[in-house]
C-alpha cells in the first residue's frame, strides 16, 4: 500500500493540515501488518502511541465494570463496536498523548488482516513544539475526537445508571 498524503488526508487528526505537514507526520510513522484476531491495543496496558487503521477491520471493546482484583481472568461485561477502514478513517490511542498514566482505555482487536500506522507520542509533541501552528491544528483535532469520545461515554454512563436504577426499584 502506498503511504502518501492521499491515504492520510481524510483522518480527523490531520484535518486542516497541508500536504507537506501530513508528509512530515508520515515520515515519523511506523507501518505494521496485523493478522486477524491479533490484539493491537489491550485495555489497561501502558501506551505511548497513536495508531491509525489504514486497511482492514477491527473490534473495539471496553469493560463496563471495574476489574475484581481477586479474579484470575477478566470476564467482565464489555461493550463492543466494529470499525472498518473502508467506512471511516479511524485512529486510536489519543488519550495516551495527554495522560501521564498512559493506560489504554479499550482493547482493539483485528477482525481481519489489517495494516496500521503507529505514531509515537513523543514524536508528535516534538513536531508540534517545533511548529506551533501545526501543533494548534493537531491539538484542536485531537480535542474534537476526545469530545466525541466523552459524549459517547456520557451516554453509556446514563444508560448504565438507568438500568441500575430500574434494578433497584424492583
**Residue 133 pLDDT:** 93
pLDDT tier at 140, thresholds 50, 70, 90: very high
Q: What is the pTM for the complete model shown?
A: 0.78
Q: What residues contact 12, with CB distance under 8 A and at least 6 apart? A: 89, 91, 141, 144, 145
With cell 483535532, the residue in question is: 141
Q: What percent of the chain has pLDDT over 70?
A: 83
Q: Exposed, middle or buried by CB within 10 Å (0-12, 13-18, 19+), for 82?
A: exposed
Give the start-end residues of each E strand in 75-113: 78-84, 91-92, 107-110
Q: Which residue has the higher pLDDT, 71 or 49?
A: 49
Tens digit of pLDDT for each residue in 94-126?
Answer: 887 787 767 888 899 999 999 999 999 999 999
Domains and CATH numbers, the chain: 5-169 (2.60.120.10)
Amino acid at each position: 500500500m502506498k503511504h502518501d498524503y492521499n491515504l492520510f488526508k481524510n483522518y480527523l487528526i490531520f484535518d486542516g493540515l497541508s500536504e507537506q505537514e501530513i508528509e512530515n507526520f508520515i515520515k515519523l510513522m511506523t507501518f505494521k501488518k496485523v493478522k486477524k484476531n491479533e490484539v493491537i491495543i489491550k485495555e489497561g496496558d501502558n501506551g505511548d502511541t497513536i495508531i491509525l487503521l489504514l486497511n482492514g477491520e477491527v473490534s473495539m471493546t471496553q469493560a463496563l465494570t471495574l476489574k475484581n482484583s481477586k479474579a484470575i481472568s477478566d470476564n467482565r461485561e464489555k461493550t463492543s463496536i466494529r470499525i472498518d477502514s473502508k467506512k471511516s478513517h479511524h485512529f486510536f490511542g489519543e488519550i495516551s498523548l495527554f495522560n501521564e498514566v498512559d493506560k489504554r482505555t479499550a482493547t482493539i482487536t483485528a477482525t481481519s488482516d489489517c495494516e496500521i500506522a503507529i505514531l509515537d507520542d513523543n514524536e508528535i509533541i516534538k513536531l508540534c513544539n517545533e511548529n506551533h501552528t501545526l501543533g494548534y491544528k493537531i491539538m484542536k483535532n485531537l480535542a474534537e475526537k476526545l469530545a466525541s469520545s466523552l459524549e459517547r461515554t456520557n451516554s453509556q454512563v446514563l444508560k448504565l445508571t438507568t438500568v441500575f436504577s430500574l434494578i433497584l426499584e424492583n
